[in-house]
């Protein structure tokens, strides 16, 4: 869908509002549990409006449990649910087992029919909807008409520039972020407690806006209280053209690259433009 941006999120007022908006008319699955900070939650946006989300939990035995998958009523039947599922499953390993955990009060036959179309197998038990990540990805891509495989993937940029990403802890000060940006000559740092999971991002623009609004005291604020938490991310297999569209629609200049749920790189607008010009010169479409 054109104009849709998907961000990683954490438990927030946005999710609470989405949860409430979908309660009157459940879509596919809707669990009776609260999100934890360690869960992977992806939110779909159209402009400034949050229109759906998927909530997942990584299981210890190389699996992914999907326990909420919601699109608000006004935006259903447009492929948003499939798009959210694809984005979530791409962040695990290809061989991971993906399990759907529907709420018992739902029409389980309708739920099963929906996920069968997306590469899942179904047995008679209520929680017997499972699929292998690679199969689910292929099925979702076929249905969502992705960019042609011949287009240059983001992986080519990460391989060329290197996978190093500068991160800061959530308790670091904004002043230390400025030092890191300047010392490493980068335009953004990823906020992460462990150096692998994306919990937020801070760019030069975030720093300038904060100082303009709060003055010098902003430099003493901790990153966790001021970072952007709805982070636009991509995977290494996404095409450069797709990431350019993401940057345009979401108006961001830096997008972290996620592979199997881990931070593996970051691309900026300069990287994208440089690679696209190179491909055009060599006669390869991106």
| Backbone region of residue 162 per phi and psi (left: phi > 0; alpha: psi in -120 to 50; beta: other values) | left
Q: What angle do CA 43, 223, 243 make, to 5 degrees?
A: 40
The predicted pLDDT at position 227 comes to 94
Label residues 198-229 b or e (16+ Cβ within 10 Å = b): bbbbbbbebbeebeeeeeeebbebbbbebbbb
Domain ranges in the chain with CATH number 3.10.580.10:
154-281
The domain made up of 4-144 has a fold known as: Aminopeptidase (3.40.630)
- Any residues with CB less than 8 A from the CB of 182 and at least 6 apart, and which? none
Q: Which of 44, 46, 58 is nearest to 7 (CA)?
A: 44
Domain ranges in the chain with CATH number 3.40.630.30:
4-144
C-alpha span between 126 and 135 (Å, rounded): 21
C-alpha span between 42 and 132 (Å, rounded): 20
Q: φ, ψ for residue 89 (rounded to 5)?
A: -70, -30
- Each residue's pLDDT, cut to its tens digit, for the chain (286 residues) gives 567 888 887 666 666 677 666 655 555 555 556 677 778 889 888 888 888 889 888 876 778 988 888 888 788 778 888 999 999 998 888 889 998 877 665 666 677 778 888 888 877 655 578 899 999 988 887 776 544 433 778 888 988 888 789 999 999 999 999 999 999 999 999 999 988 889 999 999 999 999 999 999 999 999 999 999 888 888 888 888 888 888 887 789 999 998 877 899 999 998 988 887 777 666 555 5
The predicted pLDDT at position 282 comes to 64
| Residues belonging to the chain | 286
Q: Which of 268, 68, 262 is nearest to 161 (CA)?
A: 268
Query: 154-281: which CATH number, 3.10.580.10, 3.40.50.1970, 2.60.40.10, 3.40.50.1110?
Result: 3.10.580.10
C-alpha span between 272 and 266 (Å, rounded): 11
Helix 204-214 × helix 174-184 angle, to 10° = 140
The predicted pLDDT at position 146 comes to 45
The predicted pLDDT at position 149 comes to 38
The predicted pLDDT at position 207 comes to 95
Contact assessment for residue 67 and residue 88, using Cβ atoms and an 8 Å cutoff:
no
Helix 154-161 × helix 269-281 angle, to 10° = 100
- Judge residue 64's burial from the number of C-beta atoms within 10 Å of its C-beta, 0-12 exposed, 13-18 middle, 19 or more buried: buried
The predicted pLDDT at position 126 comes to 53
Query: Which pairing describes strands 262-268 and 129-132: parallel, antiparallel, or unpaired?
Result: unpaired
The predicted pLDDT at position 172 comes to 96
CB neighbours (10 Å) of residue 23?
Answer: 10
Residue 216 structure tokens: 């010098």
């Amino acid at each position: 869908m054109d104009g849709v941006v998907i961000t990683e999120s954490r438990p927030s007022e946005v999710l609470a509002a989405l949860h409430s908006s979908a309660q009157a008319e459940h879509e596919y699955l809707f669990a009776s549990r609260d999100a934890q900070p360690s869960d992977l939650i992806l939110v779909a946006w159209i402009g400034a409006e949050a229109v759906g989300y998927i909530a997942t939990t990584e299981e210890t035995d190389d699996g992914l449990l999907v326990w909420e998958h919601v699109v608000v009523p006004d935006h259903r039947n447009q492929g948003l649910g499939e798009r959210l599922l694809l984005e979530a499953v791409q962040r695990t390993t290809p061989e991971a087992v993906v399990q759907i955990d529907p709420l018992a009060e739902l029409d389980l036959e309708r739920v099963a029919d929906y996920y069968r179309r997306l590469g899942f197998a179904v047995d008679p038990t209520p929680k017997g909807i499972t699929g292998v990540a690679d199969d689910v990805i292929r099925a979702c891509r076929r249905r969502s008409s992705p960019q042609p495989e011949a287009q240059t993937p983001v992986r080519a940029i990460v391989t060329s520039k290197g996978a190093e990403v500068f991160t800061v802890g959530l308790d670091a000060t904004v002043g230390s972020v400025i030092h890191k940006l300047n010392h490493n000559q980068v335009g953004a740092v990823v906020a992460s407690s462990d150096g692998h999971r994306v919990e937020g991002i801070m760019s030069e623009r975030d720093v300038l806006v904060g100082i303009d609004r709060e003055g010098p005291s902003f430099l003493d604020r901790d990153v966790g209280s001021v970072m952007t938490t709805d982070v636009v991310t991509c995977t290494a297999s996404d095409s450069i053209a797709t990431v350019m569209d993401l940057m345009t629609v979401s108006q961001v200049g830096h997008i972290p690259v996620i592979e199997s749920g881990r931070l593996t790189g970051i691309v900026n607008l300069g990287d994208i433009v440089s690679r696209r010009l190179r491909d055009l010169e060599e006669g390869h479409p991106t």
